[in-house]
């Protein structure tokens, strides 16, 4: 089932020049007035289409936020400090962006009577007791980042209950795709860089830890669903429902790139979650959303975008990003 179109709306995307936010902007621009609020501390202005209105500013600045949100119908809140390590090193600073600014967004949305779609995270679950992990599972975050995402997730629910503000929280699992760069990019982009350079693909730990990798195009589709659903005041997992070990991931990347890289192991990161995988039952039932992009085809599409050379695989399973 295709995502319902958002048309003829005024939309704000905070963090809209970032990895996920910029893809969302691309999907929204053809049929909406789209504004982006971004301080470009990590986002890239080159990722933004000319048709988007850009407000350069900090989402934690009430004046900048008020200017950006005036008269909007929907706010997609993606501005965040996404590095778990950075949140551990400086929890107060990350709290300002991840929680305090999120509260400002919810308050501004009340003033505008606007729907809010909040980017949350699977980090709220911590070490899951059972897999796949459902939205009803215990929440036990293991980092300040996870605590901050959980608190905003709960605030979104509470604003729906107390103030009748339509909110949806999307708990992303491991998102990957084009434009994922920088020191805090995901393991897939790191493995791809190593494989392209024929350097050793480095796994932290034994490689048997597993993750649910979801392509950014699917994450955009989930956001579009969340912007149209009647099932508000809820949190939803955004993943594929499939788990892949990190060793399997490294082998898939090496095969897709045709690299001669060896696969090596080093000491595991302290406190690293062993296994993570989404139960997508509620998301499919209430949002009508299911991921479409398999991991192998998603990785091959990244290789093709960077090289322009088709890789082995099923041409019928090519990845098409919303808005392209």
**Residue closest to 128 by CA, chosen among 117, 116, 139, 114:** 139
| CA angle centred on 281, ends 129 and 83, rounded to 5° | 55
CA–CA distance, 306 with 17 (Å, rounded to integer)? 20
**Is 163 considered catalytic here?**
no
Residue 103, H or E segment: helix 101-112
Whole-Å CA distances, 47 to 35, 54, 217: 14, 12, 15
The length of the chain is: 324
Contact call for residues 217 and 279 (beta carbons, < 8 A): no
Q: Which of 145, 155, 159, 172 is catalytic?
A: 145
Determine phi and psi for 264, rounding to 5 degrees: -120, 160
Q: What ranges in 11-100 are assigned the alpha helix state H? A: 19-28, 62-69, 84-89, 91-95
The Cα 129–Cα 266 span in angstroms is: 26
Q: Please list the active-site residues.
A: 145
């Amino acid at each position: 089932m295709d995502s319902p179109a958002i048309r003829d709306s005024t939309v704000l995307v905070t963090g809209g020049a970032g990895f996920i936010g910029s893809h969302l902007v691309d999907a929204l621009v053809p049929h909406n007035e789209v504004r982006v609020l971004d301080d470009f501390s990590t986002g890239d202005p080159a990722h933004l289409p000319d048709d988007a209105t850009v407000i350069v500013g900090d989402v934690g600045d009430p004046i900048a936020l008020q200017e950006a949100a005036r008269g909007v119908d929907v706010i997609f809140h993606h501005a965040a400090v996404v590095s778990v390590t950075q949140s551990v090193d400086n929890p107060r600073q990350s709290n300002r962006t991840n929680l305090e600014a999120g509260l400002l967004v919810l308050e501004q949305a009340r003033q505008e009577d606007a729907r809010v779609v909040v980017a949350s995270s699977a980090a709220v679950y911590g070490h899951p007791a059972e897999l796949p992990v459902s939205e009803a599972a215990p929440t036990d975050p293991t980092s300040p980042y996870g605590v901050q995402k959980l608190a905003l997730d709960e605030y979104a629910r509470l604003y729906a209950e107390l103030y009748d503000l339509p909110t949806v929280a999307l708990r992303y699992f491991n998102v990957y795709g084009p434009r994922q760069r920088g020191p805090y990019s995901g393991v897939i982009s790191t493995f791809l860089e190593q494989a392209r350079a024929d350097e050793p693909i480095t796994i932290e730990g034994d490689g048997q830890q597993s993750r649910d990798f979801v392509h950014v195009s699917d994450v955009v589709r989930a956001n579009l669903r969340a912007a149209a659903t009647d099932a508000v005041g809820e949190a939803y997992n955004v993943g594929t429902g499939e788990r892949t070990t990190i060793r399997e991931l490294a082998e898939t990347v090496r095969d897709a790139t045709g690299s001669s890289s060896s696969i090596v192991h080093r000491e595991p990161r302290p406190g690293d979650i062993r296994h993570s995988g989404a139960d997508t039952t509620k998301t499919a039932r209430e949002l009508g959303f299911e991921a479409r992009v398999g991991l192998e085809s998603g990785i091959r599409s990244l290789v093709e975008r960077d090289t322009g050379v088709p890789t082995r695989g099923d041409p019928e399973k090519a990845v098409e990003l919303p808005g392209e």
